[in-house]
Chain A
Amino acid sequence: MRAEVPPPSGSYFPHSHLLGIWDLDPIEIKYLLDRADAYADQNRSSQKKTDKLAGRTQINLFFENSTRTLMSFEMAGKRLGLDTISMSTSNSSIKKGETLLDTAATLNAMHPDALVVRHADSGAVRLLSREMNCPVLNAGDGRAEHPTQALLDALTIRRRKGHIHGLTVAISGDVTHSRVARSNIYLLNAMGAKVRLVAPPTLIPTDAESLGVEVYHTMEDGLKGADVVIMLRLQQERMQGAFLPSLREYYKYWGLTREKLQVASDDVLVMHPGPMNRGVEIASDIADDLEKSAIREQVEMGVAVRMACLDILISGREDPEAHLYKGEGT
């Protein structure tokens, strides 16, 4: 767990891209969250759209299928006045044998102002970013990172709980295959939360403790006293071999039910990055319990977080003064 550090005033957001939470310091995370917070409020008003980034172009390049994240990024761009273009692998040249870097060079020649990329290989977005002259935002790469998901989860927690520091957050489910889990672990650790992983041994990464977490294999132990429970989707498409005997057995021991949740803190917040497998990872009555579940709010915060990231990266590149930390403390 990193120490809580007050942000220094007078320093700039120093990153050209948003590739992963691992690259960010606590003050940078806080800065992104603060900006997103303001956009979340704006999104609830009637004046949702600004022309702050009008005339700029945002390309969403998705090498993996996605509906929610792609829509969220599109909406975020449009609300900032960006012209957004979305491409998926089915209509890209990758299928004709073009390499990722060829694609990057081609897109770069078109002078986009932001590139949002999802790719099935860990590290692929980082590789691509080296060839681009515009900000690259990672919309999920392999099992590695999904930084905007972690930021939107953090924003949701912060708005509900008022803070992140000191909370106990249990992340439960298929951690091994989850980029969401990795980004969440880095972010929550950075912001001073205590992170637990709860899953059968086959779904916990090797040497997981080195990531700064506590590992539990039973929900009863892992959820005890937890302030937040983040359930993960079972990534059956990434599972080769025998990770689980059956979904029925998984739900019995690791699916989130009201009964299992009883050991958590009274005001526990339940989250899920979606899409949910109801009756596998989570019981419907928990997912739909608006008091405990923040699942819909996560989707809402997703747009705000992506607006903040696009804004900070694009306008910060054009005018670094635009993103000077104010130093108001955490």
Chain B
Amino acid sequence: MTLTAYVNARLIDPKSKMDIPGSLLINGSLIAALGENIDIPESAEIIDCKGKVLSPGFIDMRAFSVDWEAAAAGGITTVILQPDQTTLIDNDAAVERIRARAKERATVNVIPMGTATKAMDGQEITEIGQMLESGAVAFTDCRKPVEDAQILKRLMEYASYYDALIVQFAEEQSLKADGIAHDGGIASRLGLTGIPSIAEQIQIERDARLAEHTNSRLHVALVSSREGVEAVREAKARGVKITCSIAPHYLHLNEHALEGYPTFAKVSPPFRTEEDRLALLAALADGTVDTIVSDHDPKNPDLKRLPFGQAASGVSGYETLLPLSLKPVQEGTMSLLDLIAKLTSGPASLLKLDSGHLSIGAQADLTIFDPEQPWIIKRNQLKASATNTPFDTLPVNGKVWKTIVAGHEIYSA
């Protein structure tokens, strides 16, 4: 077996609350040893991390494309694929096909979510049991919520039998209507139809009541507003089994990003006010937010080179996930350990994955990064299949150095 020792690293493992200088030894695909002073066999290949952080590989709970090279460059070792692929992932065969294809490639781990309803039409619940057995880890209708309360209630009742996670997109559809921007002063000025924050709040509050009633696990796919955060916080305080994600672009941009109608800033839910942005940062720091997701949604340039109203929404998020997520650490409101938990142990726990931690015998899925390395995001240097980022030319800190999956280095800067 191949032995590789990553030495002179800052070992961070949120699950065990470890943040120490040390080394980690990989034997084949598994972690063989880790700690401040471990015995490293002479036959091991030594890699000097020069003080960089070595953490569990990132688990990205919301990605619309495998785009493995970009994922690897972003430090992501497990992609949780959204089910609205060219062929919908709404049955066990589709789940198995995705998993088999990912194994053939031997790059990042790819695990799908299944749809919550058949054809994502919100009418009939899917075969949750069989999809779970085939390897699906949660169930969602992706960009739209299950609207019908009766169907959602039954979906939750059924899912609770398996303790399966239901992921809802929090946007009450009749309030969203034909909205494309946050319903506020900027949309009013630019003449764009607005989506009010209460569309998010109302959906979360209703869904939380149903989760409470059915004693089931509910995850809010993306929170974008102060009201949404408060709805999650209140439901958690009541003991509801509710969790939520945010994407890091919402930590950086607000509705002003729409000035000049740049379609790269068209996202769903939309960028909201500065107050909302600050509320998201606070919710991340106080633990209301459970995971950070890339929301990686590469869009063909043809779908973005259109008038704002007609352009597709979505950002290319893998490669900017780490530097954008580090914002609260850089601002001193969160420890690096707590932040990395949102990218590793947090999603692993929600999805019941046996990964997202550093321990002997675990699969060696690792991300090594320098949290302070400055670099400039340049669209044309990204590896993603489409580079629709609103952060082109933004100077950031925090860069992935190496990404390792099952002991294999799949990315090196």
Contacts and interface: CB of A to CB of B under 8 A. Distances in A.
A122 B185 contact: no
B302 A122 contact: no
A177 to B, nearest CB: 9
Interface stretch (A7-15, A141-149, A162-170): A141-149
B177 A240 contact: yes
A155 to B, nearest CB: 23
Interface string B154-182: 00000000000000000000000110000
A182 B177 contact: no
Interface string B179-193: 000011101111111
A121 B261 CA distance: 11
A284 to B, nearest CB: 30
A241 interface: yes
Interface stretch (A75-83, A205-213, A224-232, A270-278): A205-213
Given A121-B308, A123-B308, A211 B189 contact: yes
B306 interface: yes
Contact of A210 (B189, B196, B260, B261): B189
Contacts of B191: 122-123, 141-145, 179, 182
Contacts of A35: none
A301 interface: no
Most buried by A among B177, B178, B189: B189
A126 B260 contact: yes
Contacts of A330: none
A123 B261 contact: yes
Contacts of A99: 302, 305-306
A100 interface: yes
B194 interface: yes
Interface in A77-128: 99-101, 119-124, 126-127
Nearest to B310: A121
B307 interface: yes
Contacts of B261: 122-123, 126-127
Given A122-B309, A127-B261, A207-B184, A144 B190 contact: yes
Given A122-B308, A124-B307, A127-B261, A205 B190 contact: no
Nearest to B184: A207
Contacts, number: 74
Nearest to B273: A207
Given A126-B260, A126-B261, A208 B188 contact: yes
Contacts of A210: 185, 188-189
Contact of A241 (B177, B184, B188, B310): B177
B194 A206 contact: yes
Interface in A233-267: 240-241
B305 A101 contact: yes
Nearest to B260: A126
Given A99-B302, A99-B305, A240-B177, A122 B192 contact: yes
A126 B194 CA distance: 20
SS of B interface (majority): loop
Interface string B253-279: 000000011000000000000000000
B306 A240 contact: no
Contact of B185 (A142, A179, A207): A207
Contacts of A127: 261, 306-308
A123 B307 contact: yes
Interface residues of A, number: 27
A142 B180 CA distance: 13
Contacts of A124: 307-309
Contact of A206 (B177, B185, B260, B308): B185
What's the interface size class on B, roughly? 20 to 34
Nearest to B178: A240
B188 A211 contact: yes
Contacts of A145: 191
Contacts of B310: 121
Contacts of B194: 206
Contacts of A141: 191
Contacts of B178: 240
B194 to A, nearest CB: 6
A142 B309 contact: yes
A116 B182 CA distance: 30
A206 B307 contact: no
Contacts of A144: 190-192
Most buried by A among B178, B184, B307, B310: B307
Contacts of A211: 185, 188-189
Contacts of B190: 122-123, 144
Interface string A123-138: 1101100000000000
Interface in A197-230: 205-208, 210-211
A205 B307 contact: no
B309 A182 contact: no
B177 A121 contact: no
A43 to B, nearest CB: 31
A141 B192 CA distance: 11
Nearest to A123: B261
Nearest to A210: B185
Interface string B183-213: 1110111111110100000000000000000
A123 B181 CA distance: 13
B302 A205 contact: no
Nearest to A177: B191
Nearest to A122: B191
Interface string B300-336: 0010011111100000000000000000000000000
Contacts of B184: 206-207
B184 to A, nearest CB: 5
Contacts of B307: 100, 119, 121-124, 127
Contacts of B187: 205-206
Interface of A: 22, 99-101, 119-124, 126-127, 141-145, 179, 182, 205-208, 210-211, 240-241
Nearest first, the 7 A-B pairs at minimum CB distance are: A123-B261, A143-B191, A144-B191, A205-B188, A210-B185, A121-B307, A124-B307
11 contacts: A121-B308, A123-B260, A123-B308, A126-B260, A127-B306, A144-B190, A144-B192, A206-B184, A206-B187, A207-B184, A211-B185
Interface of B: 177-178, 183-185, 187-194, 196, 260-261, 302, 305-310
Given A124-B308, A179-B191, 4 more contacts: A99-B306, A120-B309, A143-B193, A240-B177
